[in-house]
Structure 1
Amino acid sequence: MYVLQVPGGRERATCDLLQKMLGDELVGECFVPLFESMRRVRGEWHREQRRLFPGYVFLTTPDIVRVVQRLRELPFFARVIGGHDERYVPLSAEEVAWLQALTNVETHTVEFSQGVIEGDEVKVVKGPLRGQEAKIRKIDRHKRLAFLEMHMFGRTKVVKVGLEIVSKR
């Protein structure tokens, strides 16, 4: 699995263009990971999906060199992350496992989690963050978000995902 950097907001268009230009034999799967969050609109909470990694597209392909050659034909900038000296490095097995553990495999979405605060510790009782409490660095209870620290793209990133704290003890 490889990661492409694209302009923010053009992630879905990039997947569609690559699928159209290269076909199914070169593009196994092209997706944009999402996360569910809650947003307050006119006093009511609504569930919405937002991009987990804005500006990045995930791609599986047997021939990354041909994909890179075709990226130059796109009407906007796109490049493969981790490419040095004509070598393109896929995501490590650990990064892929972390991504697959958190996201729904069919929809590539990190679903909304629920948790409680016991003393000064967060305990997730429902959702994909269950068992991942050690990676939570910060919680915004008002916006219902958790900030996770993870190693991705060769560096440490802070990623937000949906987490509602239902009680505090």
Structure 2
Amino acid sequence: MWYVVMAGKGREKIAIEKCRNALSTDAAVNIFAPTYQYLKRYSGKWNLEEDWLFPGYVFIESNLPNELEKQLKRIPTTVVPVRIGGGFNPIYEEERAILKMLIDENNCIRMSCGIIVDNRLIVEKGPLNNCQTYITRIDRHKRIAELGIELWKEPRRIKAGLEVRAKLTASEYDAGRIA
């Protein structure tokens, strides 16, 4: 199960390191803060960048929630357990499944690439390939897609890198005209 702790924006790396040092491997199987890749233009060229998917938050995978919560009390200045519904509860399994579908083994949503055909996105490669129904907005200029997902049954917006190579009509797509 995945539990979420608040570390504070800009303190994610420090919190991950302190949690790895303070928590036993029994209580915390994996400690991570998911990231996403995107392209940013500077110095005249596009560069691959990475940013936090949930700024200020760290995820902890644990099968012993009571032990985890007890051990987290040893580092109160580093992280604070996120309490939803009156307790330190994990994110729902279906929400975890969506995040696992998006992130790779390094807990990162890699860049995706696609085309738009008659105002319908076709993702050709990348983790957004199976998650097109979650995309709520595309910013072609910034090469970013916004996704609407849920955490604890509450709507959240996350970003993911998406390069749209072309915008075509169906006849242009059928004729194989991709820029």
Q: Same fold (TM over 0.5)?
A: yes
TM-score by length of 2: 0.86
Aligned AA (1:121)? R
Cα distance, 1:82 vs structure 2 = 3.3
Cα distance, 1:75 vs structure 2 = 6.3
Cα distance, 1:160 vs structure 2 = 0.6
Q: What residue number does 1:136 align with?
A: 135
Aligned AA (2:144)? L
After TM superposition, the structure 1 = structure 2 runs for residues 87-106 of structure 1, keeping only pairs within 5 Å, are 87-104=87-104, 106=105
Taking the aligned partners of 1:23 and 1:73, their CA distance within structure 2 comes to: 12
Q: What residue number does 1:156 align with?
A: 155
Cα distance, 1:44 vs structure 2 = 1.1
Q: What residue number does 1:21 align with?
A: 22
Distance verdict in 2 for CA 1:164–1:150, change over 3 Å: same
Taking the aligned partners of 1:140 and 1:83, their CA distance within structure 2 comes to: 32
- Point out the more displaced range, 63-72 or 12-21: 63-72
Taking the aligned partners of 1:77 and 1:15, their CA distance within structure 2 comes to: 9
Q: Secondary structure at the match of 1:12?
A: helix
Structure 2: segments with no counterpart, 5+ residues:
169-179
After superposing on structure 2, the runs of 4+ consecutive aligned residues of structure 1 that deviate more than 6 Å are: none
How many residue pairs match? The answer is 167
Structure 1: segments with no counterpart, 5+ residues:
none
Q: What residue number does 1:116 align with?
A: 115
Q: Deviations over 1:144-163 (max 9, x none)?
A: 00000011143101111000
Q: Deviations over 1:123-165 (max 9, x none)?
A: 1111110132221111111110000001114310111100000
Taking the aligned partners of 2:152 and 2:81, their CA distance within structure 1 comes to: 10
Q: What residue number does 1:30 align with?
A: 31
Taking the aligned partners of 2:149 and 2:79, their CA distance within structure 1 comes to: 24
Cα distance, 1:99 vs structure 2 = 0.7
Contact preservation (8 Å) 1:82, 1:90: no
Taking the aligned partners of 1:83 and 1:160, their CA distance within structure 2 comes to: 23
Q: Percent identity?
A: 30
RMSD: 1.7
Q: What residue number does 2:172 align with?
A: none
